[in-house]
Structure 1
Amino acid sequence: MFGQFKPVAFEPYGRRRSRWAVPRWLVLLLGGIAIGAGAVVYVQERHLPPRLSADASAQLRTALEQAEADRLRLKNDLADTAKRLASAVAERKALADELVTSRASAERLHEDVASLVEALPPDPRGGVIEVRMARFAVKNGMLTYDVVLSRERAGGKALTGLMQLVVAGESSRSAASTVNLEPVAIAVGNHQSLRGSLRLPDGFHPRQATVQLLDRVGGRPLGMRVMPVK
């Protein structure tokens, strides 16, 4: 009985593990990686926008490049518009300055003309409107006129009316005759200068012209003066 006894190895920690067994920590690590990858795939498939294909990615890249080109073009357009706006503002300022200068020159000219009118001899006939100066000449069948009118009590509103030229002279058909020319509208404030020409009848040779100032055609006389035609 004692001759068949075999020794038994004592293993206090249980059965000895196999030399090629996988460590537990590696199993846990691989399992965690697998679970994480699965979670990522799940989130991408269920909750995130779908992934783009190669064609969609190319189209998106092309659209992005086009949008960038449009942005640069709009930026350049904005810069050009800003330059044009600055130029327009500068031009407007220059025009405003020129307008102020022109108004000042016009006021000085108006004052100079007023001074010249005051220096002219008075109308001997007087009247509501005085004929301070009148010159007439004939050129190419036209009676050219240069007339200066004035008012002593002008007030703030111009007095409107008509200037009727009555021309006396000789024609080829008769020894002497008188012609009424086309009336000219007037609006006299402190003074008014009239310059122009009116057609004469064919073959008519004027000697003198009567300046008649009326409030309307055939209306109340406002002034009159007779002057020679040179």
Structure 2
Amino acid sequence: MALFRSSNRNVFQPTAYGYSHRRRRVPRWLVLILTGIVLGAGGVLFLQKSYGPQRLTIEQSQLLQNDLNSANLDKQRLRAQLDARTDDVANSKATVSTLESKLQQSQKQIPKLKSDLELLIQAIPADPRGTNPGIRAIALTDANGELDYKILIMQNKEGNPTFTGQMQLRISGYYPSGKVATIETDPTDVSVDYYNQIQGSAPLPESFTPRHVTVLITDPDTKKLVASRTERVARQ
């Protein structure tokens, strides 16, 4: 009887309905990850396009490159100017140092020069009128319509109280017609410690030739004449 048995073997069926093919479903977690990646990439692209820097065209890139080159040239120019200014500052410092050295040397010579000047002043003859203060020396020059003057006023000794007064010039001369005239300048304030050299110029009338000048020094309170001296005008 075994010869008549079927050769087909019974195969185990997992279900009562027989064997069936099932599709495998994609895991939900993988779907969520892929969805997140897609959404994230889309968001990045959106933000970059909406708020990020725009891509430049070829012309814009060229303009940007030109601006960059110009900025580099300006930087080099400013650097050169800075270097030049730095050199100027260094040279100025060297000049200042040299001047300071010369100033110190000059200051050392001041006492000797002052002593020599004192000797020269003492050697100047006293005012012939013997007044105090006295007019020790006068230098007068007729220069192109003006009278240039240098006047040395000096007290008889050092340490006297400072003298304050007024000085006036009385100028005598003539015009081309032969007319003789005398003009007077406005009084000016003067002060003398031991000595004082006063220099300046006084305007003259047109075509007027000065010949003699009398220097008058008065007391401003009493209007009394303190000193006077007359000198001849030299011509250039």
Deviations 1:105-135 (A, max 9, x none): 5984973655533331222435454311113
Q: Which of 192, 195, 199 pairs up with 2:204?
A: 199
The separation in 2 between residues aligned to 1:220 and 1:121, in whole angstroms, is 24
TM (norm. structure 2) is: 0.55
Q: Are 1:147 and 1:195, in contact at CA under 8 Å, matched by a contact in 2?
A: no
Q: Which of 48, 51, 58 pairs up with 2:56?
A: 58
Q: Are 1:210 and 1:225, in contact at CA under 8 Å, matched by a contact in 2?
A: yes
> Which residue of structure 2 lines up, in the alignment, with residue 7 of structure 1?
9
Q: After superposition, where does 1:13-92 map in structure 2 within 5 Å?
A: 34-35=34-35, 37-44=37-44, 49-51=47-49, 56-58=54-56, 65=65, 68-69=68-69, 71-72=71-72, 75-76=75-76, 78-90=78-90, 92=92
Q: Are 1:134 and 1:148, in contact at CA under 8 Å, matched by a contact in 2?
A: yes
> Which residue of structure 2 lines up, in the alignment, with residue 135 of structure 1?
139
> Which residue of structure 2 lines up, in the alignment, with residue 163 of structure 1?
167
Give the letter aligned to residue 139 of structure 2.
R
The change in CA–CA distance for 1:205 and 1:32 in structure 2 (over 3 A counts) is closer
The separation in 2 between residues aligned to 1:215 and 1:73, in whole angstroms, is 74
The separation in 2 between residues aligned to 1:31 and 1:41, in whole angstroms, is 15
SS of residue paired to 2:56: helix
> Which residue of structure 2 lines up, in the alignment, with residue 214 of structure 1?
218
The separation in 1 between residues aligned to 2:227 and 2:160, in whole angstroms, is 18
The change in CA–CA distance for 1:197 and 1:203 in structure 2 (over 3 A counts) is closer
Give the letter aligned to residue 58 of structure 1.
L
Q: Which of 181, 185, 209 pairs up with 1:182?
A: 185
TM (norm. structure 1) is: 0.56
The separation in 2 between residues aligned to 1:50 and 1:170, in whole angstroms, is 101
The separation in 2 between residues aligned to 1:120 and 1:167, in whole angstroms, is 25
> Which residue of structure 2 lines up, in the alignment, with residue 224 of structure 1?
228
Which stretches in structure 1 are left out of the alignment for 5+ residues? Answer: none
Alignment length (residue pairs): 217
The separation in 2 between residues aligned to 1:85 and 1:134, in whole angstroms, is 51
Deviations 1:54-104 (A, max 9, x none): x92106856864774465355335424533542553465436854884797
Q: Are 2:168 and 2:216, in contact at CA under 8 Å, matched by a contact in 1?
A: yes
Q: Are 1:129 and 1:213, in contact at CA under 8 Å, matched by a contact in 2?
A: no
SS of residue paired to 1:223: strand
The change in CA–CA distance for 1:142 and 1:79 in structure 2 (over 3 A counts) is closer
SS of residue paired to 1:58: coil
How far residue 185 of structure 1 moved from its aligned partner, in angstroms, is 3.6
The separation in 1 between residues aligned to 2:127 and 2:145, in whole angstroms, is 29
Give the letter aligned to residue 182 of structure 1.
T
The change in CA–CA distance for 1:225 and 1:88 in structure 2 (over 3 A counts) is same
Q: Are 2:150 and 2:197, in contact at CA under 8 Å, matched by a contact in 1?
A: no
How far residue 164 of structure 1 moved from its aligned partner, in angstroms, is 1.7
The separation in 2 between residues aligned to 1:65 and 1:134, in whole angstroms, is 79
